[in-house]
Amino acid sequence: MTAPAAAPRSRRAASLSIVAAALACSATWPAPADAARAGKPAPPSLSISVDSGRKTLGRGDRVTYRTELKNLGARGTAPLQITQTLAPGMKLLSTSPKGSAANGRIRWTRPLPGGAAAVFETTVEIGDVPARYTRLAAVACAAEPAGRPIVCSTRADRVLRAASGGRSGPSWYLIAGTVVLAVAVAGGLAALVRGVGRS
């Protein structure tokens, strides 16, 4: 008869375990003030920007993304992980300085002295972009050695489609229609000339 009471106790125990786990996880990600009180160094003060120099992107375009990272503090940083994403339809051509590419992301690792800046460039070619994408975005981030992001920046450019009046030439059916119309007009003029000649 005492068995039904065991279930509430087990649920309460499970709830307490979840709360304890949540508190334990939160303790591993302290806020900057908590980190300072715990004697841990606060994250470096950084700024980051990424730019393509473009407003629109179309098939066949070659684009260079320029990521600039600045250390706004006076102290140097530990080796930072700098990353930039590649949107669907982008084919990587080159990076400067040389970075590693995996899973649609370019990665560089380097420290940054106090007050210094560093530039990272990625050149891509635009290929077949899925139809659901109206913009292509590149996201650049700088992270601590453990992988925790410190700063991020995004650049999004509009996708040009051939059907929306991009840089592609006239459609084949427009050319064919023009040819058919020209042939019809020429045939009509020839018939008119023959009719005049018989009269």
**Domains in the chain: boundaries:** 3-37, 46-164
Alpha-helical segments (H) within the chain: 6-27, 32-37, 172-198
Average pLDDT of the chain, as a whole number: 75
Euclidean distance between CA atoms 151 and 144, whole angstroms: 10
Residue 131 is predicted with a pLDDT of 93
115, 117, 95, 116: which is closest to 107 by C-alpha? Answer: 95
Half-sphere exposure of 20 (CA within 13 A, CB side): 6
Residue 162 is predicted with a pLDDT of 75
Dihedral in degrees, nearest 10, Cα atoms 107, 111, 115, 121: -20
CATH fold for the domain made of 46-164:
Immunoglobulin-like (2.60.40)
Per-residue pLDDT tens digits for 102-139: 999 999 999 999 999 999 999 999 999 999 999 999 99
Helix (H, G, I), strand (E, B) or coil at 20: helix
Residue with tokens 């949107």: 87
Euclidean distance between CA atoms 183 and 179, whole angstroms: 6
